[in-house]
Chain A
Amino acid sequence: MPTVEIDGKKITVGQGVTVLEAARANGIEIPHFCYHESFKSGGLCRMCLVEIEKMPKLQTSCTTVATEGMVVKTTTDRVKQARSAILEFILTNHPLDCPDCDQAGECVLQEYSHKYGPDKSDFREPKQLREHIQLSEHIAYDPERCIMCERCVRYYRDIVGTEELAVMERGAHSEITTFPGRQLDYGYIGNIADICPVGALTTKDFRFKERVYNLRATETICPLCEAGCTIYVDAKKYTVYRVRSRSKNLTSIHTNPNRNVTALYPKVFIDAILRSSFICDDGRLGYKKALENSSLSGPVNRYEPENSTWSASIALVVQRIKQAGSKVGGILSPFATNEEVYAFLYLIKSITAHNSVGIMQFPEAKEFRESTKLKLRKGVQAPNLKGIEQIAGALGIKIVPVDEVIASKPELLYVLGPVFDRMDGYTEKIKDIQCIVVQDFKASAFSEKAHVFMPGLSFAQKDGTYTNKDGQVQRIRIVVDSKGNAKNDLDILTDIIYNISGKKLGSFDNILALLVKEIAFFNNIDMNSLTTGINLRKAAGRLW
């Protein structure tokens, strides 16, 4: 294992680790535009130039492999002058209209210009004016702002594997384009807006919506399939503005001594970075369907419409459940968190005799295209099917299809969790059931038929944990507060349980502790990683 000296600090790294990666892993900042941890270095931007002893010229640290006895200096006058010159060169055609640009606040060029850049330019020629190029209906590309780092081109070459983007023309006229007449295919487009260090590529979904420095980023989990990708949800007040990928700290992988120089990108490494650096377009652009989209004014009680308060609705549900006794049918959405599932199954188990619960069928999360190397989607289009299986299995409750629950002719049907359009097909079959209780964060065709409708919260408004397809337990957090007269799903369930059996299950933390104690599957989860770092204020905190 080679030992290098960077700025007087002795660092031991693995075989094949570059100088830039070694410096980053040890907290030494070397500015860079084109280097990205997910794909091979290009050495294109020349921003990461460093001085290495016994080498006559400055070297690009992103392509120079650290070797034994190397002495690297990153803060000498030569290096500083080179950085300043590179920034001046990049800014010859990059417009200085930061107030107009959506990237302002999280722009690497802006940050580096403040830190390393010259405060003047010797160029007197006017900047080029360029037309926008239509790459996709979801992406806006402004060639004026592009600094030709080719991160997007290399992303499509190395990660997606479809090589849909290329650099056309030469010199100052270079631009990123697709094959003439073609556009980028839906699937993994949104990531190029995330990896673009400047404001050249932005998603049209977020374009002009809000300044990034006004947004609060919250670490949470994408709920739209079972893969459980880690995401940031950026919100302001009650509104969610965008979803972007959340990179895990990859420095341990970068400096792993087992890393082999011949295989720069072993399988394990690639899996880890892909899963953490990129998300699919359904997660990035389709998050709106999993958020509250109607202002719910409180519970709806169709027996006594004038008495639709929370206390009256819960008392009514309690009374009905007691009346129905063992003839209670339960249907569960795989969007419910582990804690809600536990509380719901506890309710079903303690009152019903037949010990079974119906699970809504969600469509399978298919890949958008077979030709892509990047395959992130897993399982069904709901986050917590695995969690339901584990908890139900541990509590001895059988999972059955929804039809079976309805066919068993229950007197009371309790439906928990976001229904979306999954129960629309049953609106005719449930006519005979005397009492239907629905708990959902938004109204649907099915909830119109419910006798008691209790508005809950969406995934962005509550605390909880999901279990992904691989069996990892992941934490979701409160991103925005709820506006209307809705109530946390977990509180509704624990209220009902308390009024029926007198048992206090407590809040999210208590139930998570119960899960860890009682169910073997949850024994090995890392409570620290689940509970720390709530609501990090990291609007510009991308890991570059």
Chain B
Amino acid sequence: MTENKKKYTFKEAVYFIEILRGLGVTIKHFFTRRKFAINYPEEKLNITGNTQATMKVMDKDAQELIDRVEVTMNYRGKHALLVDGDLGRCVACKMCETVCPFFAIYIEPEESPDPRKERSPKIFEVDLTRCAYCGYCVEACPENAITMTSFYSLVARQRPELSIQRKELRTVIK
């Protein structure tokens, strides 16, 4: 065992110099004040800026969505139903309701008042307490109507408040 014992240099053996070096690092940080913690909720992280440059833009609307509605390609937060001008994109086809593994989406279709499309959702409800933010609904949507935003602060006093309706989901992009 004694053979393996490390030989200390003079500087290390004195020990005091190493203490001063450590204190030097502390004092340097004391003056530069570079911090990593974010004091939520006073400060908020900018998720929108996190978009990975390497991520392929799959959808022609993607860049516009990223710019205008704070949709990120890599963060899945609260859902949004996109509206082009006055016309909602959703056609209440129930693809997202069908694909949802957690039964978080409930849709009731109705005859669309707008002649440009046949059907629209009368009720579109996303139960955020059930949702696992897997993003299957976004993939299943044939009209690119449902998408996920960077909105992550989902706090409520009661459970029903987290069941969000079509009007709250509505997001105008053009």
Residues of chain A having any CB pair with chain B under 8 Å? 97, 99-100, 142, 207-208, 211, 213-214
- B93 near A100 with CB under 8 A, answer yes
CB distance from B41 to the nearest CB of A (A): 40
Which A-B residue pairs are the 10 nearest by beta carbons? A99-B93, A208-B109, A99-B142, A100-B91, A211-B94, A208-B119, A99-B95, A100-B118, A100-B93, A100-B119
Contact residues in A for B143 (Cβ distance below 8 Å):
99
> Are B98 and A214 interface neighbours, CB within 8 A?
yes
- Shortest B166–chain A CB gap in Å is 15
A99 to chain B, nearest CB (A): 4
22 A-B contact pairs sorted by A residue (CB < 8 Å)? A97-B91, A99-B91, A99-B93, A99-B95, A99-B142, A99-B143, A100-B91, A100-B93, A100-B117, A100-B118, A100-B119, A142-B118, A207-B111, A208-B92, A208-B109, A208-B110, A208-B111, A208-B119, A211-B94, A211-B98, A213-B98, A214-B98
Q: How many residues of B contact A (CB 8 A)?
A: 14
Taking beta carbons and an 8 Å cutoff, which residues of B are in contact with A?
91-95, 98, 109-111, 117-119, 142-143
Report the bound CA distance from A100 to B116 in whole Å.
13
A544–B28 CA distance with the chains assembled, in angstroms: 83
Chain B residue contacts of A100, Cβ below 8 A: 91, 93, 117-119
Residues of chain A with a CB closer than 8 A to B118's CB? 100, 142
Q: Which residues of B contact A214 (CB under 8 A)?
A: 98
| A243, B18: Cα distance in complex, Å | 87
Residue of B nearest to A214 (CB): B98
Q: Report whether over half of chain A's contact residues are helix, strand or loop; otherwise say mixed.
A: loop
Q: Give the distance in Å from the alpha carbon of A241 to the alpha carbon of B21 in the complex.
A: 79
Residue with the highest number of chain A CB atoms closer than 10 Å, among B92, B98, B118:
B118
B residues less than 8 Å from A211 (CB atoms): 94, 98
Q: Nearest Cβ distance between residue A204 and chain B, in whole angstroms?
A: 9
In the complex, what's the smallest C-beta–C-beta distance from A141 to chain B, in angstroms? 13
Query: B115 — nearest CB in chain A belongs to which residue?
Result: A131
B residues within 8 A CB of A207?
111
Cα of A99 to Cα of B91 in the assembled complex, Å: 8
Assembled-state Cα–Cα distance A494/B109 (Å): 44
Q: How far is the CA of A142 from the CA of B115 in the complex (A)?
A: 13
Q: How close is A298's CB to chain B, nearest CB, in angstroms?
A: 29
In whole angstroms, what is the CA distance A100 to B90 when docked?
10
Measured between C-beta atoms, what is the minimum distance from A200 to chain B in Å? 13
The closest CB in chain A to the CB of B94 belongs to A211
CA–CA, A34 to B111, complex, Å?
29
Expressed in whole angstroms, the Cα–Cα distance for A455 and B32 within the complex equals: 80
Known: A99-B93, A208-B111, A214-B98. 13 other contacts (CB 8 A): A97-B91, A99-B91, A99-B95, A99-B142, A100-B93, A100-B118, A100-B119, A142-B118, A207-B111, A208-B109, A208-B110, A208-B119, A211-B98
Task: List A contacts of B95 (CB < 8 A).
Answer: 99
CA distance A99 to B107 in the complex (A): 14
B42 vs chain A, min Cβ distance (A):
45
Point out the residues of chain B lying under 8 angstroms from A213, CB to CB: 98
> With the chains together, A100 CA to B109 CA distance in Å?
10
- Complex Cα distance A61/B15, Å? 100
CB distance from A382 to the nearest CB of B (A): 34
Task: Output the residue of A100, A207, A214 with the most chain B CB within 10 A.
Answer: A100
- B92 — nearest CB in chain A belongs to which residue? A208
CA distance A211 to B94 in the complex (A): 8
Name which of A97, A142, A208, A213 has the most chain B CB atoms within 10 A of its CB: A208
Q: Tell me the bound Cα distance from A97 to B92 in angstroms.
A: 12
Residues of chain B within 8 A (CB-CB) of A97 are 91
Query: Bound complex: CA of A369 vs CA of B118, how far in Å?
Result: 33
Complex-state Cα separation, A225 to B94, whole angstroms: 36
Q: How far is the CB of A499 from chain B (nearest CB, A)?
A: 44
Q: Which residues of A sit under 8 angstroms from B109, Cβ to Cβ?
A: 208
B70 to chain A minimum Cβ distance, whole angstroms, is 27
Cα-based distance from A97 to B95 in the complex (angstroms):
12
